[in-house]
Amino acid sequence: MCLAVPARVEALDEATAMAVVSLDGIRKEVSTQLLEQVAIGDYVLIHVGFALERIDPVEAAKTLALFAELRAMDGNA
């Protein structure tokens, strides 16, 4: 099973098509080569080091809330 997670774009390097994204305080560098446009503040779906698509901030918030609920149910909140 594959899972893409939403993350917020914190920084961009257009020359290398790389971005720094943040998810739950964890910052990670990912490739933006698969996206036509991305801007700081956008939410993107991340999978294996690639930003796959831009997503609506409301949808990102819903998904992140669901992940938080799952962590809480597992006792790892």
- Which CATH number goes with the domain that contains 55? 2.30.30.140
Asked whether 47 and 27 are in contact (CB, 8 A), the reply is no
Distant-in-sequence, close-in-space partners of 54: CB < 8 Å, separation ≥ 6: 35, 37, 38, 42, 43, 44
Question: How many domains does the structure of the chain reveal?
Answer: 1
One-letter amino acid at 67 equals: F
How would you class 5 by CB atoms within 10 Å of its CB: exposed for 0-12, middle for 13-18, buried for 19 or more? middle
The residue-averaged pLDDT of 19-30 equals 94
Contact 22, 7 (CB under 8 A): yes
pLDDT of 45-69, one tens digit each? Answer: 999 999 999 999 999 999 889 888 9
Task: Summarize the confidence of residues 19-31 as an average pLDDT.
Answer: 94
Residues of the domain holding 9:
5-74
